[in-house]
Amino acid sequence: MAIRIKKSKYDLYTLGTRVYSLLLVTEECSWWSDLNENVLGVVTYDVYDQDYSWVVLARDELGCFRAVDLDCSYPSERRAEAMVRTKIEDLSRSVKFQGFVPQYDAQRKPINLLSPIQDISKANLHPYFLHLIEDPGREPARRVIREIAPWLYPADSHFIKEFQCNQFDQRLWEIYLWATFRELGYDVAQHEAPDFECRSPLAHFTVEATTIAPSQKGVLADHPNPKLKEEFNDFLVTYMPMKFGSALCSKLDKVNAEGLHYWERSHSESKPFIIAIADFHKPGNHQKKESASITYSQSALYIYLYGHRVDWAFEDGKLLINVAPVKEHKYQSKIIPSGFFDLPKAENISAVLFSNAGTLAKFDRIGVAAGFGAKNHKYLRIGLKFDPNPNAVVGKSFVTDVEDDAYKECWSDEIQIFHNPNAKYPLAPEAFPGVAHHFWKNGKLVTFDYEERVLSSNTMIIHLTDE
């Protein structure tokens, strides 16, 4: 029997499958599967030929959904749906079908991110990794990662070990980026460096991923704990730019054994180069009601990148914006220059990509939206959305039930692109549709945003019991 499935579920199953150039000439109409979800189907409409097609997909040897049957030129959607349902039923009931259809082109073994490496003791596993594999409420995230893992082909042979042990946040950030680029329509190749090469009819660029980690020594190991508004504003202009600067400048200066920078390597040369950064330097503490740094530190990024801060005040009920230059950032005895995009060699950085969503909470919400919520659990998202009111200085608060049928979420929702005004190879805004774009033009920070973008949020997982 073939049944309709949610588009969000089909999207997850086929995140690595779609040939996105086909979406320029076709529209997906309906999505199907067998009862066990071992066989998928989709009906599409050809906008040029004005007829319908269908495709049946099954897992290959690696566990990836791949096309195994298709046909085109149907005069109506109904006839194409009837045929795709028949083909799904035929394959799923075949005595020869064992849950997958070999494609005979696998040149590697699938990676298993969720099974702990045998020779590593539990004490050496990252606490977030243990939380991921052991907490019943994290079942949605586990389902998502299981679907993505067969598609990953990391150049770093230590990827699995680092994901499970000492670099969980960094590797999860890379998985999140891969999913985002795929969702945006890019064919993604994974390299040793830069990490990603992305290609589509929209653009062709490379990306190096980096994260901000806690400082273990030096001045920055003395982490401030701002409470008052004035203390927090000072934290964003003094301490945080140094954390961003350390991570970004290390990528600016790094060369390989041949003395080549990231942008000089063969697959990156003469095209836009992006640094994708996330802040994991301070985890949240629910007992102390402290949010993780990833939810609030983004305000410091544009200050450091463009060497200017934005102050605001109300006059006669109208919001007034004042842009003031920042020459340097000082924290205790440490001083660094501001304006990353003005540094030598920075013209080779086309843009800096930032997101505060490359966390387990994102993977949980994507999984819940696809229908993989854990039994006896509820998932609530609480946060702030962009407010288009010209007098707004904070976002609009919201609370959303992630299991609501009307709830929708994309991997790219929280992405922000900070464009380099001095870029040797500028990144076209069209390369990242539907995300926030920041530009420095005529002495002002210009932002293109959309009303429903989530500025920051927390995801509450509630375990329901008889009590």
pLDDT in tens, 2-47: 999 999 999 999 999 998 888 889 999 999 999 999 999 999 999 9
- In terms of domains, do 274 and 336 share one? yes
Q: Residue 106's Cα: distance from chain center in Å?
A: 27
For residue 285, what are the contacts with CB-CB under 8 A and spacing of at least 6?
none
- In terms of domains, do 258 and 191 share one? yes
Q: What would the mean pLDDT of 199-213 be, rounded to a whole number? A: 95
Contact predicate 100/48, CB 8 Å: no
DSSP track, 106-147: --SPPP-SSSPPTTS-GGGS-HHHHHHHH-GGGHHHHHHHHH
Which pLDDT score, from 0 to 100, does residue 282 have?
Answer: 80
Which pLDDT score, from 0 to 100, does residue 309 have?
Answer: 85
- If you average pLDDT over each of 95-99, 217-221, 365-369, which comes out highest? 365-369
Residue from 388, 457, 365, 455 nearest 416 by CA: 455
- In terms of domains, do 147 and 51 share one? no
Query: Which phi and psi angles does 40 have, rounded to 5°?
Result: -115, 160
Q: Is 453 or 423 the better-scoring residue by pLDDT?
A: 423
- In terms of domains, do 84 and 200 share one? no
The answer to whether position 380 is within a domain reads yes
Q: Is the dihedral of CA 286, 292, 295, 297 positive or negative?
A: positive
Contact predicate 379/464, CB 8 Å: no
The answer to whether position 158 is within a domain reads yes
Which pLDDT score, from 0 to 100, does residue 301 have?
Answer: 95
- In terms of domains, do 42 and 186 share one? no
The answer to whether position 110 is within a domain reads no
Of the residues 31, 60, 93, the one at which a domain ends: 93
446 has a pLDDT exceeding 80: yes
Contact predicate 114/360, CB 8 Å: no
pLDDT digit string, tens, across residues 234-283? 899 999 999 999 999 999 999 999 999 999 999 999 999 999 999 998 87
The β-bridge partners of 441 are 444
Kindly report the average pLDDT of the chain as a whole number.
93
- In terms of domains, do 86 and 129 share one? no
The answer to whether position 104 is within a domain reads no
- In terms of domains, do 77 and 136 share one? no
- In terms of domains, do 145 and 77 share one? no
Beta strands 351-354; 444-448: pairing state: unpaired
If one counts every other C-beta atom within 10 angstroms of the C-beta of residue 268, the result is 22
pLDDT digit string, tens, across residues 321-354? 778 899 999 999 999 999 999 999 999 999 999 9
Which pLDDT score, from 0 to 100, does residue 452 have?
Answer: 82
- In terms of domains, do 133 and 16 share one? no
391 has a pLDDT exceeding 90: no
Q: What would the mean pLDDT of 143-168 be, rounded to a whole number? A: 94
Burial class of 48 by CB neighbour count within 10 A (0 to 12, 13 to 18, 19+): exposed
Domains contained in the chain, number = 2
Residue from 250, 349, 236, 219 nearest 301 by CA: 236
Tokens of 390: 């010209």
Of the residues 61, 93, 125, the one at which a domain ends: 93
The answer to whether position 103 is within a domain reads no
Residue from 418, 427, 420, 421 nearest 272 by CA: 427
- In terms of domains, do 82 and 170 share one? no
The answer to whether position 32 is within a domain reads yes
Which of the four pLDDT bands, split at 50, 70 and 90, describes residue 223? confident
162 has a pLDDT exceeding 60: yes
Which pLDDT score, from 0 to 100, does residue 67 have?
Answer: 97
Which pLDDT score, from 0 to 100, does residue 205 have?
Answer: 98
Q: Is 285 or 299 the better-scoring residue by pLDDT?
A: 299
Percentage above 70 pLDDT, the chain: 98
pLDDT digit string, tens, across residues 287-298? 555 566 777 788
Contact predicate 303/241, CB 8 Å: yes
The helix/strand/coil state of 257 is coil
Range of the domain at 44: 2-93
- In terms of domains, do 271 and 355 share one? yes
Which pLDDT score, from 0 to 100, does residue 419 have?
Answer: 98
The answer to whether position 108 is within a domain reads no
pLDDT digit string, tens, across residues 125-134? 999 999 999 9
415 has a pLDDT exceeding 70: yes
Which of the four pLDDT bands, split at 50, 70 and 90, describes residue 156? confident
Which pLDDT score, from 0 to 100, does residue 233 have?
Answer: 86
365 has a pLDDT exceeding 70: yes
Of the residues 93, 126, 159, the one at which a domain ends: 93
If one counts every other C-beta atom within 10 angstroms of the C-beta of residue 196, the result is 21
- In terms of domains, do 376 and 283 share one? yes
The answer to whether position 109 is within a domain reads no
